[in-house]
Amino acid sequence: MSDRNIFVVGLDELNRARLEHLHGAEHYRFHGVIEPSEVYDTEIFPIEDMVSRAEAKLSAFGEPIDAIVGYMDFPVSTMLPLLCKRFGTRSTSLESLLKCEHKYWSRLVQREVIGDYIPRFTAFDPFDPQALHHIGEEGLYFPFFVKPIKSSGSRLGFRIESPEDFEHAVSRLQEDIGTISEPFNFVMEHANLPDEVRAIDGGHCMAEEIIGGWQCTVEGYVFQGEVVPYGIVDSIRYPQVLSFFHYRYPSRLPDHIQEKMRELTRLVMAHIGYDDAAFNIEYFWDEVQDRIWLLEINTRIAQSHCDLFEKVDGVSHQQVTVDLALGNMPDMPYRQGAFKVAAKFFYRVFFVDATVTRVPSMEEIDALQQAFPGTVIALQVDVGMRLSSLPEQDSYSFALAYVWMGADDDASLEANYARLAEQLHFEFEDIVG
C-alpha cells in the first residue's frame, strides 16, 4: 500500500504527534501548509494571501494529494472548501459550511427545522447609530448577547445589560471587527448566497436572546449523507462568569437529554446538507425549564477535545477528520483509553491586563507531568508578554495554561487538578485589576 499524502493547514508539533498515533498513520505522510503561527498566534488573517500561498505550495507538490484537512476555526475552516475544490479532495461544500459559520444564515436555517430550540435573534450593523432601536423593534430587550456574524472563539462577544453596555460593545466592535469581516467577506464572495444572506456581510453582528444552562458540545460527522454524533463533552464555566473552567468527557447529562441532542443534531445537519466532514454543535440544557438550546455549529472537530477522546476512547478524534478526508468511514474506538474520564482545564487569571514576569520552567512542567501520569501542560504565555496581546481570549480573563488530565472518576480528576494548579507558579507586574 502506497503512503497517502495528507496536507494539514497550520500543522504544529503537538498535533503532528497526535496525528501520528491515529489508526493507519503508518501509511500516512503529513505535510504542513501555512505556518501554525499564522493561524494560532495572531488576530490578523490575510486569507486571500494565505489561500494563494497554499495553492502555490500544493501545486508544486510533485506527488498525489490525497487529502487537505484542518482542525482550527477561522480562518482554517473556511479555507478548506476553497482548497479542496481547487485540488479535487473531499470536503463539504462551501455553501453548507457557511450555513454553519455565518451566524445569521445559520439561525435562519436552524429556524426552518428546529425553531423551538433556538433563541430569538436579529442581525445589526454596529456602525448604525440606530442599531439599538432596531434590535428593540425585533423584540429583543435587555439583557441580550452580541457577537460578530463570524466570530472566532469568544472574542468580541458581550452580554448587554444596559444602553451603556451596548455603547461599550459597539465601540469595541467598530474598532476590531474588520480583522474578521474583511477575510470572511473574501470567502463569502466565492459562495452562492441567498440575497438576504449576502446583504448581511462579515461587518454585521448578531443580537440574541440570553440562553444558558448546562453547556455541552456534541461532536459528530457526516459520511455519505449519514449524520453520526459520536461523543458529548461538558463545558464547565467558572462561577458567575463566562470564562470556561474545563471541558469534561464523557458528559454527565441525563441520558434522555443526550439522546434528544443527538436527534436535533441529526435533523439540523441533514437539513443543512453538510456532508463528508466533521462538525460539532454547542448546546445548553436549561435544567429549570427542562429546555434545550442550540448555541452554535462549528465546522470542525474541537481541537481542545482531541486529548480527551484519546484518554477515554483510545485515539484522538482527529481520526474522524483524516478518515473522512480520505473517503473512509471514521474508525473511532469507544471506551478503549487508559482513563474513564478526562478534562481540559483552563488555568486563568481575571485581570484586565498585566505583564508576565515569571512562568513555570520546563523542569517544573516535566515534574508535574510525571507526578500526574497522562497529564499534558501547554503554557500560553512567556516572560515579558502583556496579557492583552494574547489572541483568542474572552472578554473577562486570560488563559495562562491548558492542562489535559485523566482519572478514574470526576472527584479524583478535579482533586488532582487542584493539587497541580497550586504548583503552577506565574508572576506579574503592572497589574490592572
Check whether 362 has a pLDDT greater than 80.
Answer: yes
- pTM here? 0.94
> Is residue 143 within 8 Å of 235, Cβ to Cβ?
no
Q: How far is CA 424 from CA 46, 73, 148, 285, 360, in A?
A: 36, 29, 35, 33, 6
Burial 109-118 (b: 16+ CB within 10 A, else e): bbeeebeebb
Check whether 1 has a pLDDT greater than 80.
Answer: no
Q: What is the pLDDT of residue 395?
A: 66
Check whether 59 has a pLDDT greater than 70.
Answer: yes
Chain-centre distance for alpha carbon 91? 18
Average pLDDT rounded to a whole number, residues 352-379: 96
> Is residue 34 within 8 Å of 10, Cβ to Cβ?
yes
SS3 assignment, position 352 = coil
Check whether 64 has a pLDDT greater than 90.
Answer: yes
**Which of 427, 380, 372 lies closest to 402 in space, CA to CA?**
380
Average pLDDT rounded to a whole number, residues 140-168: 90
Average pLDDT rounded to a whole number, residues 273-301: 97
- Residue 222: which pLDDT band, with cuts at 50, 70 and 90? very high
Cell of 86: 481547487
Query: d(Cα 98, Cα 272) in Å, to the nearest integer?
Result: 10
Query: d(Cα 351, Cα 381) in Å, to the nearest integer?
Result: 14
Check whether 433 has a pLDDT greater than 90.
Answer: no
Q: Choose the CATH number for 338-433 among 3.40.630, 1.10.3470, 1.20.120, 3.90.1170.
A: 3.90.1170
Q: Tell me the torsion sign for CA atoms 35, 37, 40, 42.
A: negative
> Is residue 263 within 8 Å of 325, Cβ to Cβ?
no
Query: d(Cα 185, Cα 395) in Å, to the nearest integer?
Result: 24
Mean pLDDT for the chain overall: 95
Check whether 154 has a pLDDT greater than 70.
Answer: no
Helix-strand-coil percent breakdown of the chain, rounded to 5?
A: 35, 25, 35
Q: What is the pLDDT of residue 45?
A: 83
Write out the CATH class of domain 120-209: alpha beta
Sheet holding 144-148, edge to edge: 121-124, 205-209, 144-148, 158-160
> Is residue 201 within 8 Å of 117, Cβ to Cβ?
no
Average pLDDT rounded to a whole number, residues 360-386: 96
Average pLDDT rounded to a whole number, residues 239-250: 90
Q: What is the pLDDT of residue 391?
A: 78
pLDDT tens profile 301-354 = 999 999 999 999 999 999 999 999 999 999 999 999 999 999 999 999 998 899
Type of residue numbered 40: Y
Q: What is the pLDDT of residue 339?
A: 98
Check whether 205 has a pLDDT greater than 90.
Answer: yes
Q: What is the pLDDT of residue 223?
A: 98
Q: What is the pLDDT of residue 44?
A: 77
Check whether 70 has a pLDDT greater than 80.
Answer: yes
**Which of 279, 219, 260, 272 lies closest to 117 in space, CA to CA?**
260
Check whether 153 has a pLDDT greater than 90.
Answer: no
Backbone angles phi, psi at 286, to 5 degrees: -80, 105
Q: What is the pLDDT of residue 158?
A: 92
- Residue 52: which pLDDT band, with cuts at 50, 70 and 90? very high
Percent of the chain with pLDDT over 70: 98
Backbone angles phi, psi at 261, to 5 degrees: -65, -40
Residues spanned by CATH 3.90.1170 within the chain? Answer: 338-433
> Angle, nearest 10°, between helix axes 178-188 and 76-87?
20
> Is residue 43 within 8 Å of 179, Cβ to Cβ?
yes
Check whether 271 has a pLDDT greater than 90.
Answer: yes
Residues spanned by CATH 3.30.1490.20 within the chain? Answer: 120-209
- Residue 407: which pLDDT band, with cuts at 50, 70 and 90? very high
pLDDT tens profile 89-106 = 999 999 999 999 999 999
> Is residue 174 within 8 Å of 204, Cβ to Cβ?
no
Question: Which residues on neighbouring strands pair with residue 247, listed in sequence order?
Answer: 235, 344
